[in-house]
Amino acid sequence: MDGPILVIDRDAARPIGAQLVDGLRRGILRGALRPGDAVPSTRALAAELAVSRSAVVTAYEQLAGEGYLEMRQGAATRVADLARGATPSPDPAISVDPASSDTASSGTAPRSRAEEVAGPASPRIDLLPGRPATLRFDTRAWRAAWRTAAARDIPSESPPPFGVQRLREQIADHLRIARGIECDAADIVVTAGTSEALSLSSSALAVAVARPPVIAVEHPGYPSARRTLELHGASTVPVRVDADGLDVGALRRMPQPPDAAMVTPSHQYPLGGRLPVAARLELLQWAREAEAIVLEDDYDSEYRHLGPPLPALASLDDAGRAVLVGSFSKVLTPWLRLGYLVMPENHELRAAYARMRADDRCPVPGVVQDAVATLLESGAVRRHIAATRRDYAHRRALVLEALDGLPGAPLSGLDGGLHAVVRLRELAASDAVIARLAAEGVAVAPLAEYSAVPGDEEPGFVIGYAGVTDTQLAEGLARIRAALLT
């Protein structure tokens, strides 16, 4: 790389790290650095520019996250082929299979609406929601945590029924600091993701009410949660959501109150509403009166882009009715299959959870729990959340820049999280746009897949903006814009 590409101005207000990123990005965009070119080692570039090596490492990591560079373990960092739009992955072991996204097209679902509309295709730009950005995770901390977990003597017992103590302590600390929840390790149950937290809760409720429970779910809402509850013996009843989230009045008007309600109050999934504090209190009041449980799916509350975060429902609960469910799928990776729930002060429910786990045992391998406890202790997860918060805010700005204000296609759901929603007027037009995008290699999730009421599907689609690089996102958004404008 010759001098002119990178000049650091030490008197400029712009931080040196940002200048490094700007200079390298410009160099790549104007072709001074071509696809496949190796960039200097971080040590060499740091010495040449008289900047710290960590500034260069951070700049390279950011550019890899944006899709400009490809970083591979043990090999030189190279300029990515932007035209090819490949997803650079530093470690195939933690790259995420697109088929495992959280749309209705994953898991045991029948052929999805997108497939019915367009036929199966492997998308080149996968904008299905459910994939977080993993490229920027501190791979050194990740590997060190697994090495430490693997180096331990091999225990001869099963993990404790509610999970490894060290991990439970770390999760309780995280929740106290990030979500204002007064809990300690004894309140935490380690689960195999949100899905197992829900199946466990469904079984525990069945024990508590001595029959298969009835659980209210949001409409539209998270399809795999609905299916998980049903597969574990619960029957679900849909309750409409409005712009703020669950319509608590509609829940109150149900002639037969359900045993529980499953809600996403921080960021309604998928529409994006945020349940106001008054509605949260009303929901808890309903639960108290109906002697019901509220299952709070707090899936992406770490990412709030607009407006202050509201207290978790569970933090307002003084009647032992709210179970907070959280997951490492968004803040780290769904590859771990790791989540947790926080048991409220409710002896009956706690006894039911204990009874389930006494027989079923904790399904999360002890070695995984050890490694993630070490990762949390190292601070790498906290740092990753802070870094991805900035990245996602930038991605969100790209979505707004490309799609805001298009006639007949309002954007929503962008106040927090990792996805956006485009609402359309008619299902047929919506299907046509989704089919055209699929034919062009861009996968988005039809809003219709989230319906909990057959025949009441909404036109539009959901865009996940986290699991791709900036360049892939920009290309995908340009295609979406073109499809919406024709």
Residues near ligand PLP (CB under 6 A) are 102, 130, 193-195, 222, 264, 269, 297, 299, 327, 329-330, 334, 339
CA nearest neighbour of 207 among 357, 429, 31, 339: 357
Query: What is the closest distance, in whole angstroms, from the C-beta atom of residue 137 to ligand PLP in the complex?
Result: 16
Query: What is the closest distance, in whole angstroms, from the C-beta atom of residue 72 to ligand PLP in the complex?
Result: 27
Query: What is the closest distance, in whole angstroms, from the C-beta atom of residue 467 to ligand PLP in the complex?
Result: 11
Task: Return d(Cα 198, Cα 340) in angstroms, integer.
Answer: 10
Query: What is the closest distance, in whole angstroms, from the C-beta atom of residue 342 to ligand PLP in the complex?
Result: 15
H-helix segments, 210-290 = 223-231, 248-252, 277-290
Alpha-carbon torsion 111, 113, 115, 116, what sign?
A: positive
CA nearest neighbour of 262 among 212, 208, 301, 298: 298
Query: What is the closest distance, in whole angstroms, from the C-beta atom of residue 375 to ligand PLP in the complex?
Result: 16
Of 42 and 195, which has the nearer Cβ to ligand PLP? 195
Give the H or E element holding residue 79: strand 78-79
Query: What is the closest distance, in whole angstroms, from the C-beta atom of residue 53 to ligand PLP in the complex?
Result: 35
| Local structure of 237: helix, strand or coil | strand
Which tokens is 173 given? 């600390």
- Label the pairing between strands 214-219 and 260-263: parallel
Of 65 and 339, which has the nearer Cβ to ligand PLP? 339
- Label the pairing between strands 322-327 and 245-246: unpaired
Of 102 and 431, which has the nearer Cβ to ligand PLP? 102
Of 264 and 472, which has the nearer Cβ to ligand PLP? 264
Query: What is the closest distance, in whole angstroms, from the C-beta atom of residue 328 to ligand PLP in the complex?
Result: 7
Contact 53, 16 (CB under 8 A): no
Of 68 and 222, which has the nearer Cβ to ligand PLP? 222
H-helix segments, 112-245 = 113-118, 139-151, 165-179, 193-209, 223-231
Of 68 and 269, which has the nearer Cβ to ligand PLP? 269
Of 78 and 131, which has the nearer Cβ to ligand PLP? 131
Q: Which amino acid is at 201?
A: S
Question: Which residue matches tokens 């971080």?
Answer: 42
Contact 217, 452 (CB under 8 A): yes
Query: What is the closest distance, in whole angstroms, from the C-beta atom of residue 462 to ligand PLP in the complex?
Result: 10
Give the H or E element holding residue 241: strand 235-242
**DSSP letter (8 states) at residue 243:** T
Of 203 and 329, which has the nearer Cβ to ligand PLP? 329
Task: Return d(Cα 442, Cα 482) in angstroms, integer.
Answer: 12
Query: What is the closest distance, in whole angstroms, from the C-beta atom of residue 297 to ligand PLP in the complex?
Result: 5
Of 130 and 159, which has the nearer Cβ to ligand PLP? 130
